[in-house]
A and B are shown apart, each in its own frame.
Chain A
Amino acid sequence: MDLMSEMLTTPFMQRALIGSLLLAVILGLFGVFIVPRKLGFMADGVSHASLLGIAVGLMFGGAPLLWAALVAACIGLVLAKIEDNSRLTLDSVVGIVLVGGMSSAVILMSLTSGYKPELVTYLFGSLLSISWNDIYLLIGFFVVTLFLFKLQWRTLVLTTVHGELSSVLGLPTSAAKYFLFVGTSVALIAGVKLLGVILISALLIIPFSAANQATRSLRSSLIVTECLAIGGTIAGIILSYVYDLPTGPAIALVFVALFLLCVIVGRIIPRPVLGHEHNQ
């Protein structure tokens, strides 16, 4: 109890808990659409490549995360644009962007003199690095993103099921796609201080993947995804605080454990088996 009250009254823990709550909700929602579209690798590629923005910020000044968000938004735009290009697969472009972004970042960092301790923070996340200004920015991003989700929800769901059907319905499929790609890219960067560029995709991919193992409807998988995202992030932060563990890896490992738990639960709960006798 003392530990709980100590955590809740410590300013950096307050900031970490508020920030993680907002991020978990947003990235959980994006995950509902990113995972079924098999865009998980895109998330890894964008977050890794955005290291270039962080390196530019550390080298030339300015907020590294704003540079990273700019880089991520540009990559999101490009990926959304080329998604339907028949000559290039999305995975191959993500691979190129990932390699190009990370390599440029490493070269840039090697050109700067002296040790850059902040780089480790951006790679793996750190509770101490989250400021109140970060929280205010995150609240603004949270409100705008939720509003856009409300506007685009039906289109996002139906384009995930089948793109052409959504177009026939006259839905704004293109706007929804750009929102998904750019929004996810920027949301990933918003979580870099919590989990770092290496692990942030865990918060996007694992909660929905885990929920999917044990749920049987979109509504239930949405609710379970959000519960797992929020619960897993907070549990990871508490573990990190109590046992003095690195925050990003602690949260990521909690998610992996939750995923395994959901796989077991999913095997216990029987799914209705639809056989050939219904094939009419």
Chain B
Amino acid sequence: MTSIVSNPTENIVECCDLTVVRDSKEILCEATCCVPRNSLTFLVGENGSGKTTLVKTILGLLPKHSGDITIYSEKGKNSDMVAGYVPQGITFPKQLQMTVTEYLRYSSQVKTEDIESVLSRVDFPQTHSEHTINQLSGGQQQKLLLAAELARSPEVLFLDEPLSNVDDSGEKHILDVILEIKNSGVTIVIITHDWQMVSKYADHVICLNKNFACDQQASCVCKNSLSTVNIKQIQKLTPDPETTHDGYCYIDNI
């Protein structure tokens, strides 16, 4: 169970010695990390390293085996009021005819008079507000999900690979929207494989990598299939900072 504490601190989310077990398999082992308030934090790592599991556990969608998760809220005490979430590769059922307006009403209880402003916040075309959600392109669906989550005014927003269903021209657009949201004071956590995006935009990185090499606690090289990125100033490293190892790397200020 995630603890929600009404006490605004430097970090909005803190995980301490978090272990998650699914189907008798240890997905996360004593992971310790935090998400600084008002930051754009990236959660990176190989496939199967537990990125989505970590986010879902923080959100209370998956049970933890041991450890502590705390969300420090400025306003509310319920996790659904504090945290927003846009899952990866969501596909709306084709058999359900639901308009964009209806989706916003149901998901975030947006009033009719507020629909326009909610959609404009993510630059969603107003002309599509009466279109059915399963007809929207990947980029438009992503914007709609973002709009719905933002309408609930979350303090922290978790985005699981938000660009996975979006084409090249749409990527830049979605990223601009995400940066605008961040600048409006919402903490954003993005799960991604895109190291270029991490290098360009990150305020903070949490690396869940089972294959990284560390050099005398001075820098950490996260390896992945596409590139190698040097990350400086290691804050905390588990379990062994001295050598190449399996484990969790928590990095700040790349």
Provide the bound-state CA to CA distance between A268 and B51, in Å.
47
Let me know if B131 and A218 touch, CB within 8 A: no
Contacts A161-B98, A162-B87, A170-B78: A216 and B93 contacting too (C-beta < 8 A)? no
- B167 CB contacts on chain A under 8 angstroms: 276, 279
In the assembled complex, A274 has its CB within 8 A of some CB on chain B: yes
Contacts of B61 in A (CB 8 A): 164, 167-168
B107 within 8 A of A: yes
Interface residues of A, CB < 8 Å — how many?
Answer: 33
B79 contacts chain A at the CB level, 8 A cutoff: yes
Cβ contacts under 8 Å, A86 to chain B = 23
B residues within 8 A CB of A38? Answer: 95
Q: Is the CB of B96 within 8 A of A162?
A: no
Q: Is B242 an interface residue (CB 8 A)?
A: no
Q: Does B128 contact A (CB under 8 A)?
A: yes
Interface 1/0s, chain A 161-178, versus B by CB < 8 A?
Answer: 110110111100000000
Whether A157 is near chain B, meaning CB under 8 Å from some CB there, is yes
**Known A164-B61, A170-B80: A212·B97 in contact at CB below 8 Å:** yes
Taking the nearest CB of chain B, how far is it from the CB of A221, in angstroms?
5
- Complex contact A274–B135 (CB within 8 A): yes
Residue A113, interface by CB 8 Å:
no
- Number of A-B residue pairs, CB cutoff 8 Å, is 100
What is the interface residue range for chain B against chain A? 35 or more
B85 near A218 (CB under 8 angstroms)? no
User: Which chain B positions have C-beta within 8 A of A160?
Assistant: 93, 96
CB distance from B107 to the nearest CB of A (A): 6
Verify if A10 is at the interface (C-beta below 8 Å from B). Answer: no
Q: How far is the CA of A157 from the CA of B169 in the complex (A)?
A: 32
Report A106 CB to chain B, min CB distance, Å. 34
Residue A154 lies at the interface, judged by CB distance under 8 Å to chain B? yes
A154: nearest residue on chain B (CB-CB)? B106
**A157 → chain B, closest Cβ, in Å?**
5
A139 within 8 A of B: no
Instruction: Tell whether, in the assembled complex, residue A162 and residue B98 are in contact, meaning their CB atoms are under 8 Å apart.
Output: no
B195 within 8 A of A: no
Flag if A169 contacts B80 (CB, 8 Å). Answer: yes
Given A158-B106, A274-B131, A278-B128, check contact A212 B95 (CB 8 Å): yes
Instruction: Say whether B99 faces chain A, with CB atoms less than 8 Å apart.
Output: yes
Known interface pairs A37-B93, A86-B23, A160-B96; A276-B137 also in contact (CB < 8 Å): yes
A157-B135 contact, Cβ under 8 Å, with A217-B97, A278-B125: no
- Chain B residues near A168: list those with CB within 8 A: 59, 61, 79-80, 83-85
The distance in angstroms between the C-alpha atoms of A37 and B94, with both chains bound, is 10
Q: Does A35 interact with chain B (Cβ within 8 Å)?
A: yes
The answer to whether A217 and B99 touch across the interface, beta carbons within 8 angstroms, is yes
List residues 131-187 of chain A with CB under 8 A from any CB of chain B.
154, 157-158, 160-162, 164-165, 167-170
Encoded as 1 (CB less than 8 Å from any A CB) or 0, chain B from 8 to 27 comes to: 00000000000000010000
The 4 closest A-B pairs by CB, nearest first: A170-B80, A279-B137, A36-B95, A36-B96
Sample (26) of A-B pairs whose CB atoms are under 8 Å apart? A36-B93, A158-B107, A160-B93, A161-B98, A161-B106, A161-B107, A162-B90, A164-B61, A165-B145, A168-B59, A168-B83, A169-B107, A218-B98, A271-B135, A272-B135, A274-B128, A274-B137, A278-B137, A279-B140, A279-B166, A279-B167, A280-B139, A280-B140, A280-B169, A280-B170, A280-B173
Task: Given contact pairs A158-B106, A272-B135, enumerate 19 new A-B contacts (beta carbons under 8 Å).
Answer: A154-B106, A158-B107, A161-B93, A161-B106, A164-B61, A165-B107, A167-B60, A168-B80, A168-B85, A169-B152, A212-B97, A216-B99, A217-B99, A221-B97, A274-B136, A278-B125, A279-B139, A279-B169, A280-B140
